[in-house]
Structure 1
Amino acid sequence: MELTITLLLIIFAVFASNLAAAKVKVIPAAFWEIDIGLLLPFIPWFHDFEMIPEVFLFVIISVLMFNEGQHTNIRRLFKHWGSTLSMSVWLALVTIIVVGLVTKWFLPTLSLSLAFILGAIITPTDSVAVSSITSDLKVPRPVMNTLERESLFNDASGLVVFNLGITALVTGYFSILHAVTDFLYVFGGGILLGVILGWIAVRIRLWMIRQRLSGPQVIIPYNLLTPFFVYFAAEMLGVSGILAVVTAGIVHGWQQNVLKLSSSRLQITTNSAWKLISSILNGIVFVLLGVSFPEVWQDLATRSAHGVSVLLILGTLLYVVMLVVRFLWAWLGMVKVPHQRQQKARFTDSVLIALSGVHGTITMAMAFSLPLHLKNKVFIERSDLIFVAAVVIILSLLVPTIVLKLILPPKQQSFTRSELDKAKEDTINAAIRLISQHSSNPNTIAVIHTLNSQQLAPVVVDPQKVNELLEDTKRIEKETIKQMVATHEISEMLAADYERTAALMYRRLDNGLWQTILDYWRLFMPFSQANRNYRKRKRQFRKVTGEKRRTERERWFTDLQRVSKKPFEEISNYLANVEDVFEHPEVLVVRSFYDQRQRNWNRTRDEQIVQNQLLTRAFQEEYTYVQNRVLDGSWSRQLGNQLFDDIANDQMLYIQRSLEE
């Protein structure tokens, strides 16, 4: 139970962080997640929380890296393979060596192997963290592409060197030839295995699609399980699991043209699922980063070979050293970044590449992977290395957040939120004008209400006018029922049943959600009057045989449908004859209530077909209206694309709901 509560609190921390970041946009979401993560250890369930690095890599990092791989443009990757290899392998190795030598110079008592292990820990970069802190800045696309390709493979470089260093530290034996051989086996083997398993996974998915086993409930779990299987297989064979899942993801993305044989609905559902899961997992990573800091500080206070001030200086020094190495690597042309030929542009690109070397997930995982004991003794340097890594992570997040805002322009939206709302309103009104050319029948009003639900801004209605219309429609309904009883169309008992059912729905409308919840609470709360009456009716109902019970229920529902038809027609005619019906949202609100009630009581396929036809024409009119406004220059192309996207989503959602009904 404690584990369940812990996971729920972590997910809630991600939600709270995203909410805070949406309200206070100056502070990136990553900082909110770390800050809230710092507070979680003070909750009792987190007192014994311990992050297991192997589980962290397997459950979270493998999924994130697979997702990054499948969204990588394979053509651009091959085109810029030289720069990718330069940044993710050669720069990573040079950084590890330089950091190791500087660490050994600063702390002579630290062994050279531990110095290189520290270099391997703090070398990997995190493109997701970069995207988080630059979400509102205009980063040159070539630079961002270079950083994203770097982060795909330099994680593996750091992990391979880290594992080699740990092995040498534990065994006390190190051979350059053995290290190079192991590096090539782990690195190359991970890529090769990822290609093979990725190809197999794609073929299996294509087979399932051809066998009509392509439902979201089958394909989405299969996609989510793929990185776990690939990572597990790679670890069993002793090759890089990170490289294997990245490569498998790239193969999966490369086969998208073939995978488009599946339905568009499946593609949209799958992409939405991946976006949601990757967003949550990325948030969890930074929350766990905040959760781990108190443990680091506690270990540092009890088991530290050096002082806190010394480690702070070392962490700051190493961060500056890595900045310089990354800047020189780009400035000296060791990586080919497409940029302008001006010297200033080259300098700016080099600064951006240096500052954007943000560290996070892999650095944290490797730091906590350090053994607690070494050669049957407590590994006292472990806390020091973890603390230095934490300092580097914080600086790599904090410095770019401040400096990049000074050297990069903010993203400029071609339209404001109010302009989008106004454009959406004009588009909807154009469709309503087309539909209103038809007679004001119930189907037309129902379609207009559906179109108005597309509004981004809430429709403002006058509650007093809504209540007045409801009182009028209630009066019409009662008069119609009395007339039907007087003409012997229905019995008084059936009229009473109808009025009792209608009164319950009116009560829910008048009192809102909380009153409805309270009504249900009273109904099911033991010993309440409503519950006693409910149980009494239920006992009487159970005395009736099963066949008779079904017959009576069907008869009651059929009678309700028959009785409701005439009052609904009278109410619809009254609402349709209200002056300027299409200009009064209050009429549409009242109409929506009766439409929903009638759909629940008496669904007719013919009405649904007519409404679908009208909505198809309305959506087409919206597309045409937006296109004309873009062509005549009234709206920007970006605004038009946003409106096209909104209309397409609204249309797909309506079609999906219609099919479900």
Structure 2
Amino acid sequence: MFTFVFILALAVAVLASAIIAQVVRGVSMPLIQIAIGAALALVGLTSMNFTVNSELFLVLFIAPLLYLEAQNVDKVALWTNRVTVTSLAIGLVLVVVLMVGFSLHFLEPSIPLSAAFALGAALGPTDAVAVTSLGKSATLRNDQRILLSGECLINDASGVVSFQFATAALVTGTFSLIDATTTFFVSFFGGIILGLLLQVLFSYVNARVRDFGLEDTMFHVMYAVITPFAIFLIAEELGVSGILAVVAAGLIHSFLDRRMSPEDARQKIISSSVWQVLSFSLNGIVFVLLGMQLPNAMSDTLLESTQMTDVRLAATAVFLALLTVVVRMFWFVGIDLVGKRRRARNREDAEQRLSKWRKNRPRPHRAKRPVGPSSTGTIELSGRIMKVSSRPSADPQQPAPETPEATWADKTHALQTLDAEPTGAATMPMAATSTPEELDDRRAKRAEWLNIFREALAMSLAGPKGAISLSIMFTMPYFAHDVYFQQRELLIFIASIIIVITLLLANFVLPLLLPKAEVEPTMSDDEASVDVLRAVVEDLTGIQTKGNRRAVQAVIHQYNDRIDRFKQQSDVLETGDDTELRLKVYTWQEEYVVAAMAYDGFPKVAGYTLLRRIGRARTLISHDRGIRKLVLAIRQNASFAVHAVKRIIQDREPFQNAFEDERLVRELQIEAMQASIEKLRELLSDDEVPSEHAARLIVELQRNVRRLRRIDRDSVSVADAYQVVDKITEIRKQGLRFELEHIQSMYEEERITRATAMRMRQNVHLMEIDLEDRV
């Protein structure tokens, strides 16, 4: 019962942190959760010390979190920046392990070197949740975000593997470089290969279950949730790295899951929501536990396990925290310098190729300049005799100067100096003064170096330690050499202090280095909608793969159309409002469809379908949404419903003719567009209509006509068409989910008001309902 109360207290603390984070602006969620945990421990509501089996903690917290991170990481960006990410995730982690390990062992010799290395390995990973929340208070470039997200994933695995090796040496008391190297390669590559194979096997089993007709959403969601736990346990049982197996499985998961039925789309949306709740809960519980550890760690039992005083203990933790920040900063300085050198080398190669091309290109014939007698003189400057020639020599026996440009520059500088200075000043040494160009160059170099170090420090602070680091430390063994390991609580306390310090630096110091641009909180609905849609287009581009490219591009095209409509409605975006002319085009198309429907034998359902689509398009771009429009829309929809019911009654197999009806709608739409194009051409000579508006609409309509005709040429089977529609449906649902996330993000960044956020969410929810009805 006591354990149940303890777990319930953790859950309530995590829920309370979600509410407090909405009220307290400027403080990240992990810090709020740590404060709640510390408060619970201080008031005595959780007097029970948290003890759990290390292997259980590893599989319960670390495995699912890493699996989810691997699924959500941008694979394209990760591969593009693979060299830099690898250097951060492996090279930097190893350097931090060595620096922290040797430093801690030097400051406190009672701590074994292997245990100190274990602490350094736990401090290698960065926290993905904290990195994600940095954008709310600091301005990070897109390339910086890509590096941080890729680093979060890979350094988690490298940190865990390094920690396992260090704790193995601590427990056994022996360490062999050859055996450790062999074990490392077997564990590293064996875990990756096994993770890939197991994920392929799990995906194959899931597909076969679907083929048997089991389409229960709850079953498949639970199957996806238990997958990382099963992969981790199997890998550890076979003697390879379970962490690397989980990461490899998460990376390949998105490439294997290609089914695109409506049931799959629904299952993926529910699964995504379940994973979000699970990730939030696990991360929150870890940070609350961290807060609970702080008061308990300051107990007399902790201080008795070491000769260190409380002041010295706190100073050691602060020193190690600053050491990790400094090491990380200089690593980023090295990355920046290497990148600049590589870019300079590429620029030099390009300039050499350009110079070679200019040298070899044919030159036009130019007449030679006449030459006359030369006159030379001498100027004494800084103790030197400078020969100045006012005209090139005409004597063929006297060679021309090798560098005429340098000679002319020297002459000009000398004459300017003589004109500006008194006679005695011209004999001053030139090295005693600097030209304005040299001073500007020095200032530019100084500013460049300051900017390099500023950005390196910002990137160092942007990688705080968090849930993974503390989860790793909780797996520290209780016994070493078959003796109780007394420094375990001490190391956990030091790790907790370092985690809190890095989170505080990221939350309060990082915004000073990369301040967030001031935004107006009174952004209009149209402006906010355009920003959200543009962000969704970027997200959809990031999830594009070879299998879903056509569906993603189709949905992106729809989002671009929505952006164009919002731009046309807004009074502050894009000059050249052609709304009235567009409404007139829609009126012409409606008149053409109504006239076509008057003929006997014309398919009325196709006509009413096209009228409904034209009415929707008109409503989206029209500013007049009064009662008259509502009545007209109800009348059109009612007429369409009556004719659709009659058609279903007459035709017992309406779905077999669905694609034939759509073909008739396209043919009618093509004819209506062509009629509108002819009317627009007549308006080109009208002075009252801007010709650029009419020309732009003609081009747009012609492009749409070609697109509709191409659909008929590229006709596919009914099954293939259903598959394409299902893929588009899934991508559209994912896009709507992205919209909700960006709306919440803009509200948290105070770019929009609460009322604006509510209206935007309502619009998205209405589109979700409409999409669900269509499925």
**Which category of TM-score, normalised to the shorter sequence, fits these structures?**
0.5 to 0.7
2:121 corresponds in structure 1 to 120
CA contact (8 A) 1:311 1:387 kept: no
Cα offsets for 1:243-276 (capped at 9, x unmatched): 2112111111233555678543333333233223
2:221 corresponds in structure 1 to 220
1:326 corresponds in structure 2 to 328
**1:15 equivalent in alignment to 2:21:** no
Matched ranges for 1:233-244 at <5 A: 233-244=234-245
For residues 226 and 335 of structure 2, what CA distance do their matches in structure 1 show? Answer: 41
For residues 625 and 770 of structure 2, what CA distance do their matches in structure 1 show? Answer: 16
For residues 467 and 86 of structure 2, what CA distance do their matches in structure 1 show? Answer: 21
2:504 corresponds in structure 1 to 398
For residues 60 and 6 of structure 2, what CA distance do their matches in structure 1 show? Answer: 16
1:145 corresponds in structure 2 to 146
CA contact (8 A) 1:194 1:244 kept: yes
Cα deviation, residue 80, structure 1: 2.0
**1:110 equivalent in alignment to 2:111:** yes
For residues 89 and 440 of structure 1, what CA distance do their matches in structure 2 show? Answer: 63
Cα deviation, residue 18, structure 1: 1.4
CA contact (8 A) 1:125 1:151 kept: yes
The percentage of aligned residue pairs carrying the same residue is 29
2:763 to 627, 644, 647: 647
Matched ranges for 1:32-43 at <5 A: 32-41=32-41
CA contact (8 A) 1:92 1:154 kept: yes
For 1:110, the aligned partner's letter is I
Cα deviation, residue 344, structure 1: 5.8
Cα deviation, residue 433, structure 1: 3.8
2:405 corresponds in structure 1 to none
Distance 1:156 1:651, change over 3 A: closer
Distance 1:319 1:335, change over 3 A: farther
For 2:490, the aligned partner's letter is D
Matched ranges for 1:36-435 at <5 A: 36-41=36-41, 46-52=46-52, 53-258=54-259, 263-298=264-299, 299-333=301-335, 346-410=452-516, 416=522, 419=525, 433=627
CA contact (8 A) 1:70 1:252 kept: yes
For 2:473, the aligned partner's letter is A
1:502 corresponds in structure 2 to none
2:614 corresponds in structure 1 to none
2:394 corresponds in structure 1 to none
CA contact (8 A) 2:137 2:515 kept: no
For residues 216 and 414 of structure 1, what CA distance do their matches in structure 2 show? Answer: 43
Cα deviation, residue 22, structure 1: 0.7
CA contact (8 A) 2:187 2:241 kept: yes
For residues 761 and 195 of structure 2, what CA distance do their matches in structure 1 show? Answer: 35
Deviates more, 1:358-367 or 1:649-658: 649-658
Cα offsets for 1:585-607 (capped at 9, x unmatched): xxxxxxxxxxxxxxxxxxxxxxx
For residues 343 and 276 of structure 2, what CA distance do their matches in structure 1 show? Answer: 34
Cα deviation, residue 642, structure 1: 11
Cα offsets for 1:582-629 (capped at 9, x unmatched): xxxxxxxxxxxxxxxxxxxxxxxxxxxxxxxxxxxxxxxxx9xxxxxx
Secondary structure class of the residue paired with 1:333: helix
For residues 18 and 195 of structure 2, what CA distance do their matches in structure 1 show? Answer: 33
For 1:650, the aligned partner's letter is L
2:630 to 433, 436, 446: 436
For 1:253, the aligned partner's letter is S
Deviates more, 1:650-659 or 1:200-209: 650-659
For 1:286, the aligned partner's letter is F
For residues 223 and 335 of structure 1, what CA distance do their matches in structure 2 show? Answer: 43
Cα deviation, residue 154, structure 1: 1.6
CA contact (8 A) 2:157 2:244 kept: yes
Deviates more, 1:404-413 or 1:349-358: 404-413
Cα offsets for 1:479-503 (capped at 9, x unmatched): xxxxxxxxxxxxxxxxxxxxxxxxx
Cα deviation, residue 654, structure 1: 5.8
Cα deviation, residue 365, structure 1: 2.3
For residues 42 and 335 of structure 2, what CA distance do their matches in structure 1 show? Answer: 49
For 2:323, the aligned partner's letter is V
For 2:221, the aligned partner's letter is I
CA contact (8 A) 1:331 1:346 kept: yes
For residues 323 and 528 of structure 2, what CA distance do their matches in structure 1 show? Answer: 52
What TM-score does the superposition give when structure 1 sets the normalisation length?
0.63
Cα offsets for 1:291-333 (capped at 9, x unmatched): 2323322341443342222221111111121112111112112
Distance 1:345 1:374, change over 3 A: same
CA contact (8 A) 2:171 2:481 kept: yes
Secondary structure class of the residue paired with 1:77: helix
For residues 362 and 246 of structure 1, what CA distance do their matches in structure 2 show? Answer: 14
CA contact (8 A) 1:185 1:239 kept: yes
Cα deviation, residue 45, structure 1: 6.6
For residues 417 and 8 of structure 1, what CA distance do their matches in structure 2 show? Answer: 41
CA contact (8 A) 1:191 1:243 kept: yes
Distance 1:142 1:340, change over 3 A: farther
For 2:630, the aligned partner's letter is S
For residues 103 and 3 of structure 2, what CA distance do their matches in structure 1 show? Answer: 42
Distance 1:260 1:124, change over 3 A: farther
Distance 1:207 1:133, change over 3 A: same
For 2:504, the aligned partner's letter is L
1:526 corresponds in structure 2 to none
Cα deviation, residue 136, structure 1: 3.3
For residues 170 and 267 of structure 1, what CA distance do their matches in structure 2 show? Answer: 43
For residues 153 and 118 of structure 2, what CA distance do their matches in structure 1 show? Answer: 20
Cα offsets for 1:172-208 (capped at 9, x unmatched): 2111111122222222222112111122222233334
Cα deviation, residue 58, structure 1: 1.4
CA contact (8 A) 1:153 1:243 kept: no
Cα deviation, residue 161, structure 1: 2.2
Cα deviation, residue 166, structure 1: 2.1
For residues 293 and 132 of structure 2, what CA distance do their matches in structure 1 show? Answer: 23
CA contact (8 A) 2:286 2:470 kept: no
Cα offsets for 1:536-589 (capped at 9, x unmatched): xxxxxxxxxxxxxxxxxxxxxxxxxxxxxxxxxxxxxxxxxxxxxxxxxxxxxx
CA contact (8 A) 2:65 2:279 kept: yes
Distance 1:214 1:645, change over 3 A: farther
Distance 1:92 1:9, change over 3 A: same
Secondary structure class of the residue paired with 2:631: coil
Deviates more, 1:330-339 or 1:422-431: 422-431
Cα deviation, residue 224, structure 1: 0.8
Distance 1:648 1:125, change over 3 A: closer
In the comparison of the two structures, how many residue pairs are matched? 466
Secondary structure class of the residue paired with 1:436: helix
Q: Which structure has the greater CA radius of gyration? A: 2
CA contact (8 A) 1:209 1:262 kept: no
Cα offsets for 1:449-468 (capped at 9, x unmatched): xxxxxxxxxxxxxxxxxxxx
Deviates more, 1:201-210 or 1:8-17: 201-210
Secondary structure class of the residue paired with 1:34: helix
CA contact (8 A) 2:232 2:245 kept: yes
For residues 657 and 284 of structure 1, what CA distance do their matches in structure 2 show? Answer: 38
Cα deviation, residue 229, structure 1: 0.8
